[in-house]
Copies of this chain bind each other. A is one copy, B any other.
Amino acid sequence: MNHSSKDIDHSLDPTVNDFMPGISVDNVIFGFHDQQLKVLLLECADQEHWMLPGGYIIKTESVNDAAKKVLTARTGLSEVYLQQFGVFGGLERSTPEVVNDFLKAMKVDAEKFSWHLERFITIGFFALVEFQKVNPKPDAMSLSCQWFDFHNLPKMIFDHSDLVDEALKTMRVQLRHQPIGYNLLPEEFTLKDLRTIYETILDRKIDRANFNRKMLSLGILHKKEKLFTGGAHKAPYLYSFDKSAYFAMLKEGFGLGF
């Protein structure tokens, strides 16, 4: 997925001096497709490494807005779920070796990038988006922007794979007292879809019957018509979220046993 220069997105390119120095934001953007949890990544110039969609913070914008802007620029979406999950501020993330690898992967001169090479702290966000609605757009420095199966991520620059791990850990904890899925699934979905999300994040099988019973008992789902497509088997019902009940539960929280 290459793009001509006409397609290159310069919306995140203010002057270096407009940025908060030494800080960046990086987004772990999760989607769900084909019964798999996906992560959106950008391809580095060396065609070997990949990176999280990230950016800098303009002095006149909030940190959260900076992250939101990155998300919108790469996906075309606004109004999606976006949440901080941690600050990555260790010294090991900008050692000479790390910086060297970064320059090689990006194929840029050390001089041009001196402002990014000193010492950088990044603020990690994760986003939950509806896969089908995303229109992946690479930024000016990247060759392409693609989804990867969460279980099969490519080699990434800096500590970006640590960021993905931490994002997952945070989701794993939140799963236990907040609903999830509204932001990842299309309007209509099956209970299997929902369960697969839980199983992927928790990294273990969940009893189908017990999961369904629990989910339905939460009162955040609406049962719809039958599903026709699919494999050689009985067709499952389709469900949609009861938006108001869902968001109420997001705030209130609940207890999940598994």
Other-chain residue from B64, B86, B90, B177 in contact with A84 (beta carbon distance below 8 A)? B86
Q: Are A64 and B89 in contact (CB under 8 A)?
A: yes
Please state if B89 and A57 are interface contacts (CB–CB under 8 Å): yes
Q: Give every chain B residue within 8 A of A253 (Cβ-Cβ).
A: 173
Distance in angstroms between the alpha carbons of A64 and B91 in the assembled complex: 10
When distances are taken between beta carbons in the complex, the residues of chain B under 8 Å from A21 are 20-22
Expressed in whole angstroms, the minimum distance between the Cβ of A173 and any Cβ of chain B is: 7
B-binding segment of A31-39, A117-125, A186-194, A215-223:
A117-125
User: Which of these, B57, B89, B173, B176, contacts A62 with CB under 8 Å?
Assistant: B89
CB-nearest residue of chain B to A125:
B87
Q: How far is the CB of A26 from chain B (nearest CB, A)?
A: 13
Assuming the A-B contacts A20-B121, A173-B173, are A62 and B91 also in contact, with contact meaning beta carbons closer than 8 angstroms in the complex? yes
Q: Which residues of B contact A118 (CB under 8 A)?
A: 59
Give the size of the chain A interface in residues (CB under 8 angstroms). 28
Residue of B nearest to A67 (CB): B89
The yes or no answer to A63 lying at the interface (CB within 8 A) is yes
Most buried by B among A21, A57, A90, A121: A121
Chain B residues with CB under 8 Å of A176's CB are: 176-177, 255
Asked if B119 and A59 sit within 8 Å, CB to CB, the answer is yes
Min CB distance A4 to B, Å, is 36
Give the nearest-CB partner of A173 in chain B: B177
Bound-state CA distance A64–B93 (Å) is 13
Nearest-neighbor residue (CB-CB) of A66 within chain B: B89
Q: Which of B22, B61, B84, B86 contacts A23 (CB 8 A)?
A: B22
Contact with B along A25-67 (1 / 0, CB 8 A): 0000000000000000000000000000000010111111000
Q: Chain B residue with minimal CB distance to A118? A: B59
Report A55 CB to chain B, min CB distance, Å.
Answer: 13
A23 touches B91 (CB 8 A): no
Q: What 8 pairs across the A-B complex have the smallest Cβ distances?
A: A63-B89, A62-B90, A20-B22, A87-B123, A62-B91, A59-B119, A62-B89, A21-B21
